[in-house]
Homo-oligomer: A and B are copies of this chain.
Amino acid sequence: MVTKAEQRERTREEILRIATRRFAESGYAGVALEDLVAEAGLTRGALYHHFGSKQGLFAAVIERAQFAVAEAVEHAAAVVAAPLDAFLAGCRAFLEASLAPEVRRILLVDGPAVLGWGDWRDGDLESSARLLDAGVAELAEAGLIRARSLGTVATMISGALNEVAIANATAAHPERGIDDAVATLARMIGGLSPRADPGFAQPSAP
């Protein structure tokens, strides 16, 4: 006999698996829930019982993807000692994780549009963005960068990485693109060093 908790977990897991693949393949709007659950041998009743709505299902799918990416980033950064190298390793891990279609399309393209940017960002703040903010803060504490607004720095790096992740996915040699991006990012961060002398006039602060 299978317990109810087991049954619940199995069904949720199965639906999430199929949903992840379908959303990645066809996009949020291109997926019909009827087809989705049919593949699992279920009906939409099960889906609405467990996830409440199509958005609810999508949110659950996103949450898992965000968690997986965050885990990869955290692990990659943790095995490196120097703050900057750890930060760059984390960024590289993010770009590599984003090669998976379920990350690219679901998390980066459809995510903000379906959940609304605010909610999407809230979820992101609990995973990748949190790590990025922490990483930027560490760089600042280590004296490697200085900025009026560390939040702006984190936002810009986040956006830069997201865009590279999407653009890079369809490239012929994604690994090469990742190398370029990480190298460029390292030099850009170098420009934020307190010692950096850009050698040209800065816009004056208000």
Interface size in chain A (residues, C-beta < 8 A): 63
A interface vs B, CB < 8 Å? 27-29, 84-85, 88, 105, 109-110, 112-114, 116-118, 121, 144, 147-149, 152-153, 155-164, 166-167, 170, 176-177, 179-193, 195-203, 205-206
Complex formed: what's the CA distance from A110 to B111 in Å? 10
- Shortest CB-to-CB span from A129 to chain B, Å, is 10
Contact of B184 with A193 in the complex, beta carbons under 8 Å: no
Contact of A118 with B182 in the complex, beta carbons under 8 Å: no
Find chain B residues with CB under 8 A from A121 CB: 167
Interface on chain A toward B: helix, strand, loop, or mixed SS?
helix
- Shortest CB-to-CB span from A144 to chain B, Å, is 8
Query: Contacts A29-B29, A156-B160, A162-B159 given: A191-B196 contact, CB under 8 Å?
Result: yes
Contact of A184 with B84 in the complex, beta carbons under 8 Å: no
Query: Contacts A113-B113, A155-B163 given: A200-B190 contact, CB under 8 Å?
Result: yes
Contact of A156 with B181 in the complex, beta carbons under 8 Å: yes
- Shortest CB-to-CB span from A39 to chain B, Å, is 23
Find chain B residues with CB under 8 A from A203 CB: 88, 179, 182-183, 186
Which of B110, B117, B149 has a CB less than 8 Å from the CB of A180? Answer: B149
Query: Contacts A153-B184, A186-B198, A200-B190 given: A113-B28 contact, CB under 8 Å?
Result: yes
Which of B28, B180, B200 has a CB less than 8 Å from the CB of A84? Answer: B200
Find chain B residues with CB under 8 A from A196 CB: 187, 190-191, 196
Closest to A179 in B: B206
Find chain B residues with CB under 8 A from A149 CB: 177, 180, 184
